Amino acid sequence: MNIAQFEKEIKPLLNRYTMQYATFVYGDFGSLERIELEGFNKLATVDFWSKGWIGIDIYDCACDEQVMNILLSPEDKHRIPLELDKFVTLLNQTK
């Protein structure tokens, strides 16, 4: 998974969120491309590092709680679809 695949496969499922993009070079896991999402009292980030690491984080402002925080190594790539499904489900949940 990379940012282009996220744009194609995940972004359409989260069209009610505002998204901002940032790029950082020379991080611990290589260069970083970050997507920041905001909406419905939730803040989230998805980080794509050039060395294959992916970070996923969701903070629910309504309950003042981090509801997802995961870092996947390149060896965990088989878990990416499952974790992104959880990500979309959590962001689309309403209380």
Q: What is the pLDDT of residue 26?
A: 79
Per-residue pLDDT of the chain (95 residues; tens, 9 = 90+): 888 999 999 999 998 899 999 999 877 788 999 999 999 999 999 999 999 999 999 999 999 999 999 999 999 999 999 999 999 999 998 75
Report how far residue 95's alpha carbon sits from residue 92's, in angstroms, rounded to the nearest whole number. 10
Q: What is the pLDDT of residue 95?
A: 58
Among 28, 35, 73, CA closest to 83: 73
The DSSP H or E segment spanning 51 is: none
